[in-house]
Amino acid sequence: GAGVSQSPRYKVAKRGQDVALRCDPISGHVSLFWYQQALGQGPEFLTYFQNEAQLDKSGLPSDRFFAERPEGSVSTLKIQRTQQEDSAVYLCASSPSLGDLGYEQYFGPGTRLTVT
């Protein structure tokens, strides 16, 4: 079946611009996660949704970052007034888990954001 999809795959933004990154999870997956991956590092957790509820946003680095999943499927990660330090790959993952430990997460291809 179809995996997790993300768009755009690449985004170049000028410092100060707002960007919106989209994630389409695997059909039927309840949980959706956003991660940020810097070059040479492992992904770092940003936020987590169970259906439409954002249950954990502890990893969002500042109030410029905002995520939503209004209908419990597609999610959007928005970054306002982008800064150079926001340059990274943004990964979305989905899982069939209802929040229990041990369920596997499947990643999309990521969006590479470059802020100039």
Q: Which tokens in the block code for residue 46? A: 């940003």
Q: Measured between alpha carbons, how far is 100 from 75 in angstroms, rounded to an integer?
A: 21
Report the residue number, 35 or 86, with the smaller CB distance to another protein. Answer: 35
Residue 42, both tokens: 């492992």
The reply to whether 101 sits near another protein by the rule CB under 8 A is yes
- Could you give the CA distance from residue 112 to residue 116 in angstroms, rounded to a whole number? 13
Residue 82 binds another protein (CB under 8 A):
no
Stretch that binds another protein, among 10-18, 20-28, 69-77, 100-108 (CB under 8 A): 100-108
CB of 107 to another protein, least distance (A): 5
Specify the 3-state DSSP secondary structure of 15.
coil
Q: How far is CA 40 from the centre of its chain?
A: 19
Tell whether residue 76 is a contact of another protein (CB under 8 A).
no
Looking at 19, 31, 75, 115, which residue binds another protein (CB under 8 A)? Answer: 31
- Whether cis (ω within 30° of 0) applies to the bond prior to 43 is no
CA distance 106 to 112: 18
- Closer to another protein at the Cβ: 57 or 64? 57
Contact residues toward another protein (CB under 8 A) are 31, 33, 35, 40-45, 48, 50, 55-56, 59, 89, 91, 93, 95, 97, 99-110
